[in-house]
Amino acid sequence: MDLSPEPETVELADRVREFVRDEVEPVEREWAATGANPGDELRRGLQKRAAAAGLLAPTGPRRWGGLGLSATDQSEVLRAAGRSLLGPLALNCAAPDEGNMHLLHKVATPQQQERYLAPLVRGEVRSSFAMTEPSPGAGSDPSMLRTAARRDGGAWVIDGTKWYITGADGAAWTICMVRTPEHDGQPAGATMFLVDADNPGMRVVRHVPSLDTAFTGGHCEVAFDGCRVPDEAVLGEVGKGFAYAQVRLGPARLTHCMRWLGLAERAQEMALDRAAEREAFRHRLADLGMAQQLIADSEIDLAAARGLVTRAAWLLDRGERASAETSIAKTFTSEAVGRVVDRAVQLHGALGISGDLLLSLYLREVRPFRVYDGASEVHRMSIARRAVRRRATR
């Protein structure tokens, strides 16, 4: 199979790379000095520039104004966007909006797409995805879901607490995953609801302090207290929330990998430049064996991660679930990215851990990736179980 990108995709990725270098990286340096989450004013300004350049919403469906790229094409373009922490935000392909676009495109009714998906693709609003809960609620194990919805007259009433919900502060709406009882022939299970931010029963309680700061709206605790929503707020069908979560999570894991790979590639380029110019012990760092090992190991990590991501994207484009492949790619890439950035910091010495470069910021930002969209340990458990089942059927 030929997984080489089409010339048009290469050209688009080059344009994105130039846009990020010229328009986004200068803003990134200014934003990094603030130590705060990027605000909506910054987001709107960057997205206005991206729209003018014809680069907005590369993963969004064409019908609603996106570029409609395939997963394989996304692997090139999102890597280019990810070369800056603010690149995905600028192009409107950052989490959680990018994953919500995909889910709404696959599951939402035409009316829901008109109301929620269209303005999201155009960058007019932000969104959030509320599934994680404080202990003992759902986290890595979604079956521990405690937030619940009950019928009351002709409406659903949601009660519960969600925690570490990315982008919730300032989002126009959220997709909330809750437990639901048997209803209208559907068994008890999990259901997704679209909840508008102005619903009086939903409230952002606080920002959860976090290691990373690059998400607009932060990571929030969100309370649902007698939150009434109509039947039209159900996303898909009642009781099928866990199945829809897989529709979102597999591709979203992969786009996370693509974006963070771009940042790791930028960190490696910085390390290469430093090794070529910096001298110690009468030699360039690039000529010293221990530095060469750091450089080589990062090259290996990057090449392996790109290969895993590209193959998983190819399978998704073929219409396959690719659950095992996206899980493997996410686990390896999340850890490889951390190793690459860490080695880049090491090769820069004290400069790498200082605030004079952005590498120390990158190191903080990439660490949570080993937890987001499934912790590495959970993915390893899933990968192992699949391997055992596969072997047992031979």
Same domain, 385 and 281: yes
**What is the reported pLDDT for 365?**
98
pLDDT of 274 over the 90 cut: yes
Task: Reply yes or no: is the peptide bond before residue 7 cis, omega within 30 of 0.
Answer: no
Better-predicted residue by pLDDT, 3 or 294: 294
What pLDDT, in 10s, does the model give residues 100-140?
999 999 999 999 999 999 999 999 999 999 999 999 999 98
Determine the pLDDT at residue 3.
Answer: 80
Domain shared by 105 and 19, yes or no: yes
User: Up-side HSE of residue 330: CA atoms within 13 Å toward CB?
Assistant: 29
Same domain? 337 vs 384: yes
pLDDT confidence of 185, banded at 50, 70, 90? confident
The percent of residues in the chain predicted with pLDDT above 90, rounded, is: 96
Structure tokens at 295: 């450089």
Contact in structure between 337 and 370 (CB atoms under 8 Å): no
The CATH number of residue 45's host domain is: 1.10.540.10
pLDDT classification of 187: cutoffs 50, 70, 90:
confident
Number of domains composing the chain: 3
Average pLDDT for the chain? 97
Calculate mean pLDDT across residues 354-366. Answer: 97
Extended beta strands in the chain, E state: 127-130, 148-152, 155-166, 173-180, 189-196, 202-207, 219-230, 234-235, 279-280, 283-284
Cα–Cα dist 391/385, whole Å: 10
Residues 192 and 333 in one domain: no
Do residues 157 and 298 share a domain?
no
Q: Which of 238, 258, 292 is the last residue of a domain?
A: 238
Averaged pLDDT, 154-177: 98
The CATH number linked to 226 is 2.40.110.10
Residue 184's pLDDT band, with cuts at 50, 70 and 90, is: confident
Residue 199 has pLDDT above 90, yes or no: yes
Q: In this model, does residue 152 exceed pLDDT 90?
A: yes
Do both 377 and 259 map to the same domain? yes
Based on the domain organization, do 213 and 97 belong to the same domain? no
- For residues 64-91, give the mean pLDDT: 98
Domain boundary among 213, 238, 263: 238
**257: containing domain:** 242-392
Is the domain of 32 the same as that of 165?
no
Flag whether 45 is in a domain.
yes
Higher-scoring residue by pLDDT: 188, 219: 219
